[in-house]
Amino acid sequence: MKRTSRDIRTANRYEVLRQIIAESPTSRQELAAATGLSLATVATLVGELLDLGMLTEVGFEDSAGGRPRGLVAVNASGGALIGVDIAETYVRVELFDLALNVLARADEDMRPGESRPVQVVGHVAAAVGSVVAQAGVEGARVLGVGVSVPGQVDRATGIAEYAPNWDWHDVPLLDLLSEHISYPLYLDNPLRACAVAELWFGAARGRGDAVVVNLGTGVGAGLALGGGLHRGVSNSAGEWGHTTLVLDGRLCHCGNHGCVETYVGAPGIMLNLRELSPRSPLLHPEDQTATIDALARGVAAQDPVAVKVVRDTARYLGAGIADLVNLLNPEVVVLSSWVAAALGEPLLEEVREAVARHALRRPLAATEIVLSPIPTDPVCLGAATFALEGALSSITQKAGQRNNRRTWSKQ
C-alpha cells in the first residue's frame, strides 16, 4: 500500500499538533526544529490549525535582535473530544478539551451476562449524554467520539468483527451507536487505543519505535513504529496475546494452545495462582480485579505465594517480551492497562530480569522497559485521540483557499 501525498500531509499535521500539545506555547521555528519539517510546511500546517480554532496565537517570543517570533498554543476550549472504553464489565466515558484534559467522566457497570450489543450501546449512549451534560459543552463543539471495544474491529465499516469474551460476531456497532449519538464516531480496540495514547502523550512520544504491551483480561501489543501506529493490512496488527509461548500448552479461546494470553492475561494469572496454591485466600474465583489486587497487596506484604505468582507470570511475560525485542528492536516497551497498573514496580522489575535472560544483547541494550506514565484511563485517552486524528484527517481545507471559516468534512 503506497503512502500518498495526502497520507504524508495528515501524518505531518499529527506530528505538529502532537508537538504543540506537548510543549505550548511554541514558535514555528521550534516546531520545524523538533519535527524535521521545513519552516514553510510548519507555517502552512499551523495556519490550518489556527483557522480551525484548534490553536491560538499567544504573543511573541523575546528575541535578542532579529524579528520577534510568533508563539502558538493549543486552544483548549476550541473543541471537545470524547473517549469511550467498552470493557468486559463496565463502560467508561471521558470528555476532554483539546489539550486532552479530562473535563467529565461517567462510568456504567454491566452485570454479568449483560452483553448483548443493544445493552452495551444503551450504556454507551447514557454515559456520552452524561459527560456532555456535565461538561456543559455545546454539541457543535464535540469534534468526535472514539470508541474502543475489545477484539477485532473493522475501522472502515465500524463493525466489531469478533469479541471473544462476549461471543460477538460482526456486530455493526457504529451503526447501532449512531442511532443515539450524532457526533462523528471512530471505532478501534483497546490495544491500539493504549498505543496511540502512549504515542501522543506517554512513553512512546518522540520515540522511534515503541511496543505497548497491554495487560488486562486480554493481552496484546500495540505497535508504534516510525512515529505512527502500525495497523497492518487489515487493521488487526498487535494480536501478540495469541503468540505461541508454550507449544501444545494451555488451551486458549482462540482455539490455539499455549498462547501468551493464557499465561499472563488476568485469567491466566489466576490460573498460575490456582496451580501453585489451589486454596489460596488470594484467589477470588469469580473476580479478576479482586484477585489481581489481592496479589498486589500480597507482594507488598512479601507473601511468598504472591511473590512466586508474580515471578512466574513475569517469567512468561519476559520470554514473550524478549521475542518482541528481538523481532522489532524497539526503543521502548511500555507495560500498560489495569493488570500492569495494579502489579506495578514489582512486576516491572521481574519482567526486566526475565527479558534480560532471553533477549539478544544488541537489541536488549537499546530497549528500555517502563510502566505507562499515563495517569488516567489510557483506553479513554487513546479513544479520544482517535477522534482527534479523525478530525485532523478530515480537514478538507486547501492551502490556497484559507479563510476564517472553520471547515470540517462530514463523517
Comparing CB distances to a copy of itself, the nearer of 257 and 274 is: 257
> Does residue 283 touch Zn ion according to CB under 5 A?
no
Sheet holding 152-154, edge to edge: 152-154, 159-163, 168-171
Minimum CB distance to Zn ion smaller for 252 or for 321: 252
Site string for a copy of itself, 283-302 (x = CB under 8 A): --------------------
**Position 102 contacts a copy of itself (CB under 8 A):** no
Told to check if 259 binds Zn ion by CB under 5 A, we report: yes
In a 13 Å sphere around the CA of 315, the CA atoms on its Cβ side amount to 8
Helix H or strand E encompassing 173: helix 173-178
Does the protein bind a copy of itself through residue 14 (CB under 8 A)?
A: no
Residue from 77, 326, 393, 397 touching a copy of itself (CB under 8 A): that is 326
Q: Which does 330 bind (CB under 5 to 8 A by kind): Zn ion, a copy of itself, none?
A: a copy of itself
CB 71 within 8 A of CB 57: yes
Least separation, in Å, of the C-beta of 222 and a copy of itself?
Answer: 11
Q: Grid coordinates in use for 284?
A: 477470588
Secondary structure of residue 265 in the 3-state scheme: coil
For residues 31 and 50, give the distance between their C-alpha atoms in angstroms, rounded to a whole number: 15
* Residue type present at position 240: W
User: Per CB under 8 A, does 34 bind a copy of itself?
Assistant: yes
Q: How far apart are CA 8 and CA 49, in angstroms?
A: 16
By CB atoms closer than 10 A (0-12, 13-18, 19+), residue 161 is middle
Which of 252, 198, 248, 247 shows the shortest CA–CA distance to 223? 198
- Interface positions, 237-266, toward a copy of itself (CB under 8 A): 237-240, 242-247, 249, 254, 256
Cα-based torsion angle of the residue sequence 43, 46, 50, 52 in order, rounded to the nearest 10 degrees:
120
| Contact pattern from residue 221 through residue 240 relative to a copy of itself, giving x for each residue in contact according to CB under 8 A and a dash for the rest | x-x-xxxx-xxxxxxxxxxx
Q: Which residues lie near a copy of itself (CB under 8 A)?
A: 1-8, 15, 34-38, 41, 152, 161-162, 206-209, 221, 223, 225-228, 230-240, 242-247, 249, 254, 256, 316, 319-320, 322-324, 326-331, 357-358, 360-363, 365-367
Q: Which residues lie near Zn ion (CB under 5 A)?
A: 242, 252, 254, 256, 259
